[in-house]
Amino acid sequence: MKIRTRFAPSPTGFMHVGNLRTALYEFLTAKHEDGTFVLRIEDTDQERYVEGATQVIYDTLKLAGLTHDEGPDIGGDFGPYVQSERLGLYKPYAEQLVNEGKAYRCFCSKERLEALREQSESGYDRHCRDLSAEEIQKNLDAGTPYVIRQKMPLTGVSTYTDLVYGEISIPNEDMDDQVLLKADGFPTYNFANVIDDHLMGITHVVRGSEYLSSTPKYNALYEAFGWEIPTYMHLPLIMGKSVDEEGNEVISKLSKRHGSTGFMDLVNDGFLPEAIINYIALLGWAPSDNQEIFTMEELIKNFDPKGISKSPSVFDYDKLEWVNAEHIKNMSFDEFISHAKPFFDQLGIGEANYAMLEEILKPRITRFTQLPEKLEFLTKFEDFDLSLFEHKKSKSTLDSSKAILTDIVPKLQQCDWTREAISELLTGYATEHEMKNALVMWPVRIAAAGVAVTPGGCAEVLILLGKDESLRRINIGLERLMRS
């Protein structure tokens, strides 16, 4: 039997990383076995519907590389794939169960149900479960509103097997007679979910562990219709780290207070979609070996539900940063430049320096959004503290810097402005004067950049600035040293 999974989000806003992980695991479960990944939009909760949210779902899945095989935008053999377009399907199934004695019409008013909830925590008292045919007809003739409830078993235990958590048992007495069809004719979430999954041939249902205890309610519906129950895979919670007022680390369910929790928010923060997906795949799943950096193709090949943990996982932004940096390091030259070019264009950096920049920046950034800060010295040059010329490790002092710059400026004026020629000039000067390279290069770089930390070394800074600008800045630095 070919595996069919489905991602069934509600269009209520942005895509949280928890939802995205569910979609990813559904995608990987299907694709690992050459199965089918279905997108279904569950939009019947109109009160929570957010305009434009469906497009957010499409855009997120596309950017994340989770290509669906069937869905509202591409069609398929099991449509429609938008729940609001399927409303006519559900009532006949609910009435079928009523006719078979497996469900019943409940005429209890909202006031009575609210009073029950206030008086007891045991839930609905099944008041209408055994109404006589005469009482039912009387209510129908009077036009009394009703919902349709399923007759749940009153005794015994319901047991099912989950791929992650193993055997799960729930006492039947803990389950209410669940509502299938509301008074307005709309199906409940659980009921529509089961009907749609069956009609779409879904074989594997992947969802959060919060549904572990309610799954027997789903199964009761499958059994009532005589349908095959799908395979379940419940996923552990994703937690976040924070620090309380006393400085203690606190672990709690991931939320906005921990940082960006939406996929597009993380992308806007500078994280690569493929790195986000790579990291989210590892939130609760461990491969059979120690590999941590994956392409999508590698995830599909290696994914095995047996590697999913029962324990909650903690979203670690530092680890995401590391994963992102590794993806940057693994980029080809063209890939790197395609991501960096918008930032280079803003700084007026030409193609002639692309190769050098790729070489020096690739191992030094964890996100491309760091480029403006890393290269800020190119466009921002202010009076800096002369103490920058003093560097303990290179043994640079104000006096040594003054002497070296006085000697070097005329030589730089005559030098070919290439990376190799500049490096050869500076290292040659150091050798000739029996100095360490760092002692010579430190004052030149400080004078040119005006900052202590730059990507690349002295020669790279001078090349990026260009000959005229480099010499202008170095002369300014030398003049300030002379006046000090």
Residues designated as active site: 256
DSSP collapsed to 3 states, 148-180: EEECCCCCCEEEEEECCCEEEEEEHHHCCCCEE
How far from each other are the two terminal CA atoms of the chain, in whole angstroms?
82
How would you classify the pairing of strands 36-39 and 103-106? Answer: unpaired
- Residues whose CB falls within 8 Å of the CB of residue 183, separated by 6 or more in sequence, listed in order: 145, 146, 147
Query: CA–CA separation, 236 vs 64, rounded Å?
Result: 21
- Residues whose CB falls within 8 Å of the CB of residue 27, separated by 6 or more in sequence, listed in order: 5, 7, 37, 66
CA atoms within 13 Å, Cβ hemisphere of 247: 0
CB 313 within 8 A of CB 238: yes
Among 328, 355, 321, which Cα is nearest to 456's? Answer: 355
Tokens of 113: 């149900």
How would you classify the pairing of strands 238-243 and 249-253? Answer: antiparallel
Neighbour-count burial for 450-461, b at 16+ CB within 10 Å, e otherwise: bbeebbbbbbbb
Neighbouring C-beta atoms of residue 318, cutoff 10 Å: 9
Among 153, 150, 154, 175, which Cα is nearest to 96's? Answer: 150
Tokens of 146: 């009703």
